[in-house]
Chains A and B, each alone.
Chain A
Amino acid sequence: MTGSLNVLGYAVATIGPAIGLALGISKAIESMARQPEAAGMVRTTMFIGVAVVEALALLAFVLAFAL
């Protein structure tokens, strides 16, 4: 077996953001279904939150290559 431990590290690092994204997006879908008239605002806020959570996974992606 050859390869880089960084890739395994990246795999571990995606668990947290994955759970975070799942929680955030599922709540957003729920509230969009409850109040369709607020869908635009919910979607915007969801994307801001998604961008923040996803930043962690992206940082891990970069560090997996950089270190």
Chain B
Amino acid sequence: MLNVLAAAEWGGEFEGVLDPISALFEFPPILELELFGVDLSINRTIIIAWLGTIFIGVLFTLGARKAEVIPGKFQAFLEMIIDLNRTIALEIIGPKGTKFVPLLTTLFVTIFVLNFSKIFPLFMMPPTSRAAWPLFLALTTWLVFIGVGIKEQGFAGYFGGILFPPGVPKALYIILTPIELLSNLVLRPFTLAVRLFANMVAGHILVVITLVTIHVFLPSMPVGWMVGVFGLIAAPLVFAFELFIIGLQAYIFGMLSAVYIGSSLEAHH
């Protein structure tokens, strides 16, 4: 596909090496910074992430500043978001879940807004498609559900519960304990991060290929413009599909966080 696009762009023949796919995700630094040997350069991804964060801050500050008993349209919209997360928390974690509504709402809104810049004009790049963002969001969940487990059941109680689940024949612990250790402490945060990351990478490549198809084929005169028209028809569908994926990933991340927190709140039966 990429070879065909490049050939069309270069007028029928493409001799050379394509950029690796990572060129879609790496931007040159706008401002070079380095602190203690760590690269802290400011590039487009960082600026998008900052703008997204500022947007969330302004949105919720404006909504909460003049909170009224009978909400207006704007306040009702924000309350709908919070209520969605409250429902998740109450259904999955249980009555103790109200404590975690702020965390779940923050995760949901952050992930949604950062993902949404994938289809937002002029941005067109989700910061969550760089591995650091999902990794640190998953790390937050990881620290919270382990911290909650230790706080609620005690260190020995929590780790005893996940490593040696009761009601299992003693001999099975040889197999079960390593699996439980790996699954609870490594695979949970890892899959949480990779699920978001992989979806965003795939979505970004899909959007780029759709738009580049339009850009390349629409002006090419004899027959190529038909492909361009097809791209024009496909683009809104791709964007709608991506909007669905964006919302779904934000929802799944919050939901699985709630499941993990809920599982460390109460001891295994």
Contacts and interface: CB of A to CB of B under 8 A. Distances in A.
Interface of A: 40, 44, 47-48, 51-52, 54-55, 58, 61-62
A9 to B, nearest CB: 16
A58 B191 contact: yes
- Contact residues of A: prevailing secondary structure: helix
5 contacts: A40-B91, A47-B252, A51-B259, A55-B187, A58-B194
Contacts of B198: 58, 61-62
Given A40-B91, A44-B91, A55 B255 contact: no
B151 interface: no
A40 to B, nearest CB: 5
B96 interface: no
B259 A54 contact: no
A58 to B, nearest CB: 5
A43 B49 CA distance: 32
A47 B259 contact: yes
Contacts of A58: 191, 194-195, 198
A51 B259 CA distance: 10
Interface in B165-209: 183, 187, 191, 194-195, 198
Instruction: Give the 5 A-B CB pairs with smallest separation, nearest first.
Output: A55-B191, A58-B194, A40-B91, A61-B198, A44-B92
B179 to A, nearest CB: 11
B211 to A, nearest CB: 23
A67 B110 CA distance: 32
Q: Name which of A40, A48, A58, A62 has the most chain B CB atoms within 10 A of its CB.
A: A58
A61 to B, nearest CB: 5
Given A40-B91, A47-B256, A62-B194, 5 more contacts: A44-B259, A47-B259, A58-B191, A58-B194, A58-B198
Nearest to A44: B92
Contacts of A51: 191, 256, 259
A50 B256 CA distance: 10
Contacts of A54: 191, 195
Contact of A61 (B91, B183, B194, B256): B194
Contacts of B92: 44
Contacts of A52: 183
Q: Name which of B91, B191, B252, B259 has the most chain A CB atoms within 10 A of its CB.
A: B191
Given A40-B91, A58-B198, A47 B187 contact: no
B194 A48 contact: no
Contacts of A55: 187, 191
Interface string B256-269: 10010000000000
A60 to B, nearest CB: 10
A54 B198 CA distance: 12
A44 B259 CA distance: 7
B200 to A, nearest CB: 12
